[in-house]
Structure 1
Amino acid sequence: MDAAELPPPAAPMRALVHAPPPTTPWTTGLYDCTEDRGNCWLTCLCPCITFGLVAEIVDRGAMASGASTALYMLVGLASAWWFTPIYTCFYRTKMRAQYGLQEDPYPDVCVHTFCEWCALCQEYRELHNRGFIMDIGWHANMEMQQRGGGGVATVPPAMHVDGMTR
């Protein structure tokens, strides 16, 4: 069989590969605790409070920060504190999905297993840098945003065009 008689080469098979969703970097690094020393100390002394504040915002008010704080303590006491990093890791993963954040510098489970306090501080700073006032909770942040007094990044700003509002 000479070259003229050979069938044409098969077209390369193209796998249906979906591009990963766009991700953005965190506004602060995992170890940037010097940017917010107050929260750093609070998290070192009582990580359950920082977790509760973060969880309320990430859950969009479905559970109050006090309830999340109590659940963190209960999970810790029931499991001799070995399960809390796994529990809090789910909130980091949920937060990354909500804001398109990179899984950086390590996978979420590793960050929470080996750097639990740093991870909680970073999540707190991220939400704060996105315009949330962490101490007042989800519902108060939404009320303030609706009145025009806050810069919460989860709700688009109202548009004013020719006297019309949306």
Structure 2
Amino acid sequence: MNVDYGHRPQQWSHDLCNCGENMSTCCITWCLPCITFGQIAEIVDEGRNSCLCHGVVYGLLMTIQCQWVYSCTYRKRLRQKFGLLEEPCGDCCVHYCCQPCALCQEHAELKSRGFDPSKGWIGSTTTAPQVPPSMTK
């Protein structure tokens, strides 16, 4: 689902290296990245699969150290939904080199757009989130 905003791609609302802005997300992501990833993936997936399902798959992939392949696909989907730039480099490169920072940035991006990843897709917000035409809520 590519979003055509009719103009240049948008900037991320948070920089990749600003993962310390929200200390609770930062700590959870550094210790248990499968939780943060699961929350992000559930929102990006529009609730088709649960946070738990995504988190378990991510955790299993961590055992063979290839979870970054799974998470980079969700970064790409998130970027496409909101028309975000692929920066500072390719999605897979970002997740391979800076996995925790990438997850914190994606989590912060969803929050800045009105979603609450910790509440999942159904309860993600009490107000209408900033949803592109490709997403429904």
Give the TM-score range, shorter chain. Answer: 0.7 to 0.9
**Paired position in structure 1 for 2:78:** 95
Q: Tell which has more relative contact order, 1 or 2 (C-alpha 8 A, sep 6+).
A: 2
The yes-or-no answer on 1:24 pairing with 2:10 is yes
8 Å CA contact 1:21–1:100 kept in 2: the answer is no
CA distance in structure 2 between the partners assigned to 1:106 and 1:28 by the alignment: 15
Per the TM alignment, residue 47 of structure 1 is displaced from its structure 2 partner at its CA by 0.3
Per the TM alignment, residue 155 of structure 1 is displaced from its structure 2 partner at its CA by 6.6
8 Å CA contact 2:41–2:74 kept in 1: the answer is yes
Within a 5 Å distance, the mapping from 1:74-153 to structure 2 comes to 74-77=60-63, 80-81=64-65, 83-141=66-124, 149-153=126-130
| Structure with larger Rg | 1
CA distance in structure 2 between the partners assigned to 1:131 and 1:59 by the alignment: 16
Within a 5 Å distance, the mapping from 1:39-78 to structure 2 comes to 39-77=25-63
- The ranges of structure 1 where at least 4 consecutive aligned residues each deviate by more than 4 angstroms after the TM superposition are none
Q: Name stretches of at least 5 consecutive residues in structure 2 with no aligned partner.
A: 1-5
Q: Name stretches of at least 5 consecutive residues in structure 1 with no aligned partner.
A: 1-19, 157-166
The two structures have a TM-score, normalised by structure 1, of 0.73
8 Å CA contact 1:33–1:121 kept in 2: the answer is yes
Count of matched residue pairs: 128
Per the TM alignment, residue 139 of structure 1 is displaced from its structure 2 partner at its CA by 1.6
Per the TM alignment, residue 103 of structure 1 is displaced from its structure 2 partner at its CA by 0.5
Per the TM alignment, residue 34 of structure 1 is displaced from its structure 2 partner at its CA by 2.2
8 Å CA contact 1:26–1:126 kept in 2: the answer is yes
8 Å CA contact 1:132–1:152 kept in 2: the answer is yes
CA distance in structure 1 between the partners assigned to 2:81 and 2:22 by the alignment: 23
SS of the equivalent of 1:26 reads: coil
**Paired position in structure 2 for 1:10:** none
Per the TM alignment, residue 131 of structure 1 is displaced from its structure 2 partner at its CA by 0.4
- Residue identity opposite 1:43 in structure 2: T
Identity in percent:
38
* CA RMSD between the two structures: 1.7
